[in-house]
Structure 1
Amino acid sequence: MIGPLEIAANVGATACILLAGRNSVHTWWTGIVGCALFAVLFYQSNLYADVALQGFFIVSGVVGWMQWRRGAQGAELPITHASVKSLAWLVPAGVAATAAYGALLHYFTNAYAPFIDSAVLVFSIVAQLLLMRRKVENWAFWILVNTVAVPLYASRGLYLTAFLYACYWVNAIVSWLWWRRLARKAA
């Protein structure tokens, strides 16, 4: 059954995700609100990696908000591409972190689907860090995260959340194309 907490969390998250795709600085404060609500929802669903992820999103939301507004030298941060070198270490590091955190959850908690939940956590962090720096490739990682998150959330009865993550998957594709165009214009 879809409750008011799940609805409220998804309203905040949807606003955040749509605003990020449109390259709006308001993505950050709406995300902070949605993440706080999701932290409570995921705790109630024994998705502990997702609870930790929401804490990270809240902190990174504040940092991202400041970075987007002021950039590195006081100017607005431009949309650019991540280097091949940075992506070459991010992916294997993400796989290793997923395995390590998944093992911790598996052996020391009653977490549901600890390795899958950990993959959502780790690659969301990777995507968020790239988003904070306005790197086009953040959207590829969001596509991966949403692909894994949809069946995970559906398996816990979070049907509205699973449905919206499926919509976020489409949004990530559209946003990836949009940001590529914006990056070409800026270059």
Structure 2
Amino acid sequence: MHQWIQLLIEQIRQTTLLEWLAVLLGVAEVLLAKRNNILLYPAGIGGSALSIFLLLESGLYAEAGLSVYYVVMSIYGWIIWVRRKNEPPLPVTYASKNEWLIVLLITFGGWLGIYLLLHHFTKSTVPVWDALVSSTAWAGTWLLARRKIENWVVLNISNLFAVPLLFYKHLPLFALLTVFLFVVAVFGFFDWQRIYRKEKQVN
């Protein structure tokens, strides 16, 4: 245990300014998401853009691809949340059966597709694990963009697998960020449930 702590401290000491900035933007994004604040999207775009470069350097190709997806989905989510000026913002709701089918398609179809790409076209040493983290995060981010309460559950499935993967790839700061995201997502789930009940009472 002492050896792991020493390794963690040493790796944190070697953490670059870009890594710190990416992590700080990631923290800002999830805190803003928990508060149902639209500014989560510009924070997410900035953090994801930095993460693409850092993850490619570490050989986590699917995670880097996931960051590209985050940028695209952040733009998509930003547009959906704002919508037209004269319309109310998209309400917080639970996912429908059809939306759950899309989630399953993104998760399992994405996992297979990413795994095959990593296995055949990259030097990834963890294609199965990397693909699983990315595909579940894809599904969770899609739910987040549509303001579905279950996004927190699906994203936390990704977080559970991501933490050991990031430590294994010597990215301790990103791993600790993911632990933090996991905890915030638990609170976010209950916060969004309260928002849903409040909006339902108003309507």
Q: TM-score, normalised by structure 1?
A: 0.93
Q: CA RMSD in A?
A: 1.7
Cα distance in 2 for residues equivalent to 1:67 and 1:38: 24
Alignment-derived partner of residue 16 in structure 1: 29
Map 1:31-180 → 2, pairs under 5 A? 31-70=44-83, 74-91=87-104, 93-180=106-193
Q: Secondary structure at the match of 2:152?
A: helix
Residue ranges of structure 1 left out of the alignment (5+ in a row): none
Contact 2:30-2:181 within 8 A present in 1 as well = yes
CA 1:136/1:149 → structure 2, altered by over 3 Å: closer, same or farther?
Answer: same
Q: Secondary structure at the match of 1:160?
A: helix
More displaced stretch, 76-85 vs 169-178:
76-85
Residue ranges of structure 2 left out of the alignment (5+ in a row): 1-10
2:196 to 179, 183, 187: 183
Q: Does 1:3 align with 2:21?
A: no
Contact 1:32-1:61 within 8 A present in 2 as well = yes
More displaced stretch, 97-106 vs 24-33:
97-106
Cα distance in 2 for residues equivalent to 1:112 and 1:181: 42
Q: CA deviation at 1:68?
A: 1.0
Alignment-derived partner of residue 4 in structure 2: none
Q: CA deviation at 1:95?
A: 2.0
One-letter amino acid matched to 1:174: F
Q: CA deviation at 1:186?
A: 1.2
Contact 1:31-1:58 within 8 A present in 2 as well = yes
Q: TM-score, normalised by structure 2?
A: 0.86
Deviations 1:8-51 (A, max 9, x none): 11011110011001100000000000000000110100111111
Q: CA deviation at 1:65?
A: 1.1
Q: CA deviation at 1:92?
A: 5.3
Q: CA deviation at 1:154?
A: 0.6
Cα distance in 2 for residues equivalent to 1:37 and 1:100: 24
